[in-house]
Amino acid sequence: MTSLKGQIAVVTGAGSGIGKAMALALAEQGAVLCLVGRNSERLEAVAKYARNFSSDVSIHKTDLGIDRDIHLLAAGLKKDFGGVDILIHSAGVISIGRFEDASIEDFDFQYKINVRAAYLLTQEVLPMLREKKGQVVFMNSSVGVTGKGGVGQYAASKHALKGLADSLREEVNADGVRVLSVYLGRTATPMQAALHEMEEKKYVPERLLQPEDIAEVVLNALGLSKTAEVTDIFIRPLRKP
């Protein structure tokens, strides 16, 4: 496994859930962490723990729904670090509803955060990723491959994210940049707890994937020798919830 020590890793949605687990796993490897999210208090809490393993941890309060915030984030990364080795897209939102009832405003918001923000941020830091022969990870969903009733808008955004990742991979392969999509089943995160509440289902987190499971698998892919590329990972709870 290739060491990730000293590599500059940008993690969106780093304040909780999968983003938090990824950030802490990278910290344990000695990566230089750039934590991105909207909630400063949550980011500070993650940073405080991460500094037990890595002294190089910075916080970037960013609303990914605002283009100017993304531009400022990218400019700050270039100024402070000069490059990016790892970009992990963990931020995301979900709204459920049947096709005839779900609002177009909810659709627009999911597209904006789940697809457009990931596209724009990747586009902004792509020159730095190319220079470093870096890696991009898109946290996707099982419904990004097979849509299901009641989550059509979310599924559409995740299908779009898959297309974005697949196209990007083809474009940057010759530059030595690796692109990974991770298709997740239900995972014990605050988003999943909220989703269970919307669905009026009992939330039993121990029956679900754990964020640390995902971080462990992704970390192994990131640490592979540059003679190999993992393009897609499918991971789900052992037992169907």
Q: Where is 87: in which H helix or E strand?
A: strand 86-89
3-state secondary structure of 19: helix
Could you tell me the strand order of the sheet in which 232-235 lies? Answer: 57-61, 32-37, 8-12, 86-89, 135-141, 178-184, 232-235
Here the tokens at position 127 are 């020159």
Burial class (CB in 10 A: 0-12, 13-18, 19+), 189: buried
CA angle in degrees (0–180, nearest 5) for 149-142-67: 95
Please, which residues bridge with residue 88 across strands? Answer: 11, 137
Question: Is-catalytic flag, 154?
Answer: yes
Q: Catalytic residue among 49, 111, 154, 203, which?
A: 154
> Cα–Cα–Cα angle for 84, 87, 91, nearest 5°?
140
Catalytic residues: 154
